[in-house]
Chains A and B, each alone.
Chain A
Amino acid sequence: MKVYVPRDAAARALGSDAVAAAFVAAGHRVIRNGSRGMVWLEPLVEIEEDGLRRAYGAVTPADVPGILSGAVESLGPVEDIPFFARQTRLTFARCGLIDPLDLSDYEAHGGLAGLRRALALGPEGIVAEVKASGLRGRGGAGFPTGVKWDTVARAQADRKYIVCNADEGDSGTFADRMIMEGDPFSVIEGMVIAGIAVGATKGFVYIRSEYPDAIDVMTHAVEISRKNKLLGRILQSSHEFDIELRVGAGAYVCGEETSLLNSLEGKRGVVRAKPPLPALEGFMGRPTVVNNVLSLATVPVIFERGAAHYAGFGLGRSRGTMPVQIAGNVARGGLFETAFGMPLGDLVHDIAGGTASGRPVKAVQVGGPLGAYFAPAKFDTPFGYEEFDGQGGLIGHAGVVVFDDSADMRAMARFAMEFCAIESCGKCTPCRIGAVRGVETIDRIAAGDAGAVPLLVDLCETMKHGSLCALGGFTPYPVMSALEQFPEEFGGLREAAA
């Protein structure tokens, strides 16, 4: 019999350590797996007997004797739980299934097959394959990953770098954290393949300090990889690659790639003007691939199954799958990996079961603190880059935060401005000063000065067009979307803001 109790941070935050201890006290060896992503059922315990894994949801230490005696009813196999059964798991196929730090378990579930194929294809073949997969950056901007790698591959330099962006600062997102904690070798394998493709021998993973569990798992995974030739001389080939972990220091803007590079270099995390692109002049002025954790963690499965398989999923120019993170006031919150194209409303209602409070959904914010609010009137929008853009929004890192009808949209707009003011890197005035003015203006509106609404609109225009990066440039999205869809909360009539 095998007992799985997640070591994922969300599971631990809901008491999984005490549950694991109870199984150990009862004389069982416990495998600390990652999360299967059904956070409302955490701690989700799985018991494997005769090759069958049965799940038990939201387990407390007091449930453990009953689970062992058969008195507690199982939820059945995870794969049969509707929330899980409806997913297409490519990037997250192994997350929660395997022991995250057991490299042979990783290999037994398809790990390293992609790397072996990539080694056989060689650098040019790798870049062509990533291009053919249609993979776009999962960090927010959606830039084609193969094109970025091609640029770095073609650049001439004495050294090149791969930087894995694990700063995951967007509220409502936790997919990077989950994969680092649940399947860290997939991130490492993706980075190694990127290194071979562009001719880089050194990689950094920049992990936010708010993720101590992910830092811990990744630290061990890197050590294990070095011992087993997944790092160093890669699988006895002629390619060399090593990885160093770096920890952020609590600055949201350091998720922006050039700010991140400054931070890695030991500087203030101020955003750099582009050009030069990091692909040409990145870390220490050398050509650098900066990719999100999910972009890199998706690379191995693209090589394992083939680019055509991956590209076969999706909608329009959004190819493959997206690990959507459903959070906030939601009945069934968690990670739902699905082919692009599912309408937003299906995710919120059918998949996630609406609000946890049982009250009506008022709005959802998609894409983190810089993402727009979508009222239910826009719930038919299919999940895709262009589709959300067309609705004045963005999918970003695919966080969907659900609010019930008690949400105060003016307060949410104010928070967006306040967050921008706190996190601004200070380089441009519209962002640094504008966000402070934005808070003041919304306070005036709150005090009954409806005449301040046009000022807020003007301010948003200025920030949108006068900011160097998306922190200042996109903060107007949540603000304006709240104002346009809920004008009565800003003291105006619905027509006034139209």
Chain B
Amino acid sequence: MPSTAAPHGTPEDPVIARIIADHLGVEGPLLPILHAVQAALGHIPAAAHGPIAEALNITRAELHGVISFYHDFRDRPAGRHVVRICRSEACQAVGGVALSQAVLDKLGLDWHGTTPDGRVTVEPVYCLGLCACGPAAMVDGALKGRATPEDVLAGLEA
């Protein structure tokens, strides 16, 4: 595989370089950098690995170890809409399993799957702190309490 660490290799490089530069002054900058890269680019592209590893003086293997440890970080873009449905106990007590099953069935997906048209990704989440008004979901960042499949699927057409 060709090295992705080469400067000016991809269109994302200036963005990545700026994010790294912005964070080098903080203590323990890696997670803030990864969050910022994902916020800017929707995922953590392979092109980011080389520059980040180099700037923080860690190996690419170490960096990969960190990225893969955390559920939030993606190595490829998600669908245009991201649906996160709580799988935890308090939501299970009020029909959380039926909610997620209905949504997954309707979209023809398994957990972490993306529809073939790139429209929707469905992910599990383990508690959104809405445990007294479950089942809970987050659709494109918006929280839903006492969610029904219709609530969750509304607005995902485009």
Contacts and interface: CB of A to CB of B under 8 A. Distances in A.
Contacts of B133: 10, 13-14, 39-40, 42, 333
Task: Classify chain B: how many residues form its interface, as a range.
Answer: 35 or more
Contacts of A356: 94
A453 interface: no
Contact of B132 (A174, A213, A425): A174
B126 A266 contact: no
Contacts of A209: 35, 72
A212 B141 contact: yes
Nearest to B84: A210
Given A39-B133, A251-B70, A369 B89 contact: yes
B69 A251 contact: yes
Interface in A210-230: 210-213
Given A266-B56, A402-B93, A330 B73 contact: no
Contacts of B70: 249-251, 269
A327 B134 contact: yes
Contact of B129 (A173, A333, A401): A173
B26 interface: yes
A172 interface: yes
Interface of A is mostly: mixed
A318 interface: no
A42 B132 CA distance: 10
Contact of A266 (B28, B129, B130, B145): B28
Interface in A402-454: 402-404, 407, 412, 415, 419, 422-423, 425
A13 B144 contact: yes
Interface stretch (A23-31, A103-111, A163-171, A462-470): A163-171
A431 to B, nearest CB: 15
Contacts of B145: 10, 13-14, 42
A274 interface: no
B128 interface: yes
Contacts of A266: 28-31, 56, 66
Contacts of A252: 126
B89 A9 contact: no
A308 interface: no
Contacts of B4: none
Interface string B117-129: 0000000011111
Shortest 5 CB-CB contacts between residues of A and residues of B? A266-B30, A333-B132, A171-B88, A328-B93, A249-B70
Given A264-B31, A365-B89, 4 more contacts: A249-B73, A264-B28, A267-B66, A325-B131
